[in-house]
Amino acid sequence: MNTNSLCVWGNNNTFASAMQKIDNYTFLTSAPVDKVVLTMAVPTIISMLITSLYNIADTFFVGKLSTQATASVGIVFSVMFFIQAFGFFFGHGSGNYISRELGAKRHKNAQKMASTAFFFSMVCGLLFTIVGEIMLKPLSIFLGSTPTILPYTEDYMGIILLGAPFLTSSLTLNNQMRFQGNARFAMWGIVTGTLLNVVLNPLFIFGFNMGVRGSALATVIGQIVSFCLLLRISYMNQNIGIHFKNFSPSWNAIREIFYGGSPSLSRQGLECTATIMLNISAGAFGDAAIAAMSIVTRIAMFIMSIVIGLGQGFQPLCGFCYGAKLYSRLKKGYWFTVKLGTLFLIMCAVVGLSFSNDIIGLFRNDPEVIKIGGAALAWQLIGYPFNEFTMVSNMCTQTCRKPWRANLLASARRGLFFIPLIIILPKCFGLFGLEITQLISDSLACMLTIPIMIYTFRELR
């Protein structure tokens, strides 16, 4: 191929990429709001559902081993929350900035931010692997492992930590694509790795007789495959590719990542802290309580993944419309998302309350686990309808670059209210206090969100 043909190919490639950006801009700023939100949300919901399916399958297969093995997965889950927190931090931080810059038609700034956040994310994940492997045993104890659970926790977490660089980088790439309006491409990378993980789980656990280590190995393999696919997809015409020449670390880039990503870091970081505190509080009532709350957490995440996916479908519209100063359209998209998500959660609450014990029994056929988990799930379901309003408000303030409000809302449900309540209520009311903590936390978070959003929408007039 001669030099001229290379130049022509490069120009065509650039032209196709520019046309795709223009198409996304027109769609996100002009198409009917309900169509935009659903179009952006469906691939994201599928990604979230498949990822949650991995969490469910992981708990389901490990639950066939023992109560202690099931509890160990719940304990290590807090570490995965912590690692994911930084993947979302760099992904949402850069993604929010990218969507605003594309909405304002400043494509070069978006390209630099994509590569800068990606390389920061990869280095951060590598540091987690090194530090976590060195501190494996004390970390396992700190997270709430009892002497009977500790060996399972060390086996599981020792392998899980190896996937940290791939997990943080994958989440960063996934969210960058989603904020560009290319949620369909983001979906394929995550879904493929997760489905591979679900298939490998029973094979490694039972076929190769690897126990919890087999489950962890299946997880890491799935993460590596997702990373490779997402990185390859990022170079397709419809996405902003990752290039080291665009790596531009600066205080301005770090500040923008912080403003856009700190609410996600707060949300996921507090999710990690809340899970640790939950395991410690549940430990006072025995291994069965830890296992039960671990199962409830996975079920809750599966349901909430649809709510989060719907909210993330709203975020590209929110970012583009905010950048283009189309505030009335932004508000219309916000209320459509809140109403649809709340209706879905009401339906889940009605169905779940009728079968809470049966749902827990699917994962671990232990009468004590079913008794504790069924009650905890039922109480959580009552508060579910409040959560769409809180979560979409958090995503709206985050995308509109309102960092302090976004951080406050991100910390409310699983931090500001949940952490003190999980310390106080079990001491005052025993096991019942443990079971109702999330319901009370969700109610208080919803009440806090109301005045914040009234003030925010007044600013957007």
pLDDT tens for 347-372 read 999 988 888 888 888 887 788 889 99
- Greatest mean pLDDT range, 41-55, 218-232, 258-272: 218-232
Banded model confidence at residue 2, pLDDT cuts 50, 70, 90: very low
- Greatest mean pLDDT range, 94-108, 141-155, 383-397, 407-421: 383-397
* Stated length of the chain: 461
pLDDT tens for 69-85 read 877 887 887 788 789 88
* The pLDDT value given to residue 73: 81
pLDDT at residue 406 is higher than 70: yes
Distance between CA 135 and CA 344 in Å, rounded?
42
Distance between CA 357 and CA 56 in Å, rounded?
16
Distance between CA 72 and CA 187 in Å, rounded?
29
* The pLDDT value given to residue 402: 85
pLDDT tens for 100-109 read 888 777 888 8
What residue type is 42 in one-letter code?
Answer: V
- pTM equals 0.68
Banded model confidence at residue 89, pLDDT cuts 50, 70, 90: very high
pLDDT at residue 55 is higher than 80: no
Residue 148 near residue 287 (C-beta atoms within 8 A): yes
Exposed / middle / buried, residue 250 (Cβ in 10 Å: 0-12, 13-18, 19+):
exposed
Q: What is the mean pLDDT of the chain?
A: 84
Residue 390 near residue 453 (C-beta atoms within 8 A): no
pLDDT tens for 160-215 read 999 999 999 999 998 888 788 777 777 788 788 888 888 898 899 888 888 889 88
Give residues with Cβ within 8 angstroms of 93, minimum separation 6: 117, 256, 257, 258, 259, 260, 261, 262, 264
Q: Give percent of the chain with pLDDT exceeding 70.
A: 94
Nearest to 56 by CA among 223, 304, 288, 249: 304
Q: Cα 441 to the chain's mean position, in Å?
A: 19
Banded model confidence at residue 11, pLDDT cuts 50, 70, 90: very low
Exposed / middle / buried, residue 194 (Cβ in 10 Å: 0-12, 13-18, 19+):
buried
Distance between CA 405 and CA 401 in Å, rounded?
9
* The pLDDT value given to residue 54: 67
Banded model confidence at residue 7, pLDDT cuts 50, 70, 90: very low
Banded model confidence at residue 382, pLDDT cuts 50, 70, 90: very high
pLDDT at residue 3 is higher than 50: no
Residue 290 near residue 279 (C-beta atoms within 8 A): yes
List for the chain the helix, strand, coil content (%; round to 5): 90, 0, 10
- Structural element, H or E, at residue 305: helix 287-323
Banded model confidence at residue 125, pLDDT cuts 50, 70, 90: very high
State the SS3 of 406-445.
HHHHHHHHHHHCHHHHHHHHHHHHCHHHHHHHHHHHHHHH
DSSP at 246: G
pLDDT at residue 22 is higher than 70: no
* The pLDDT value given to residue 439: 93
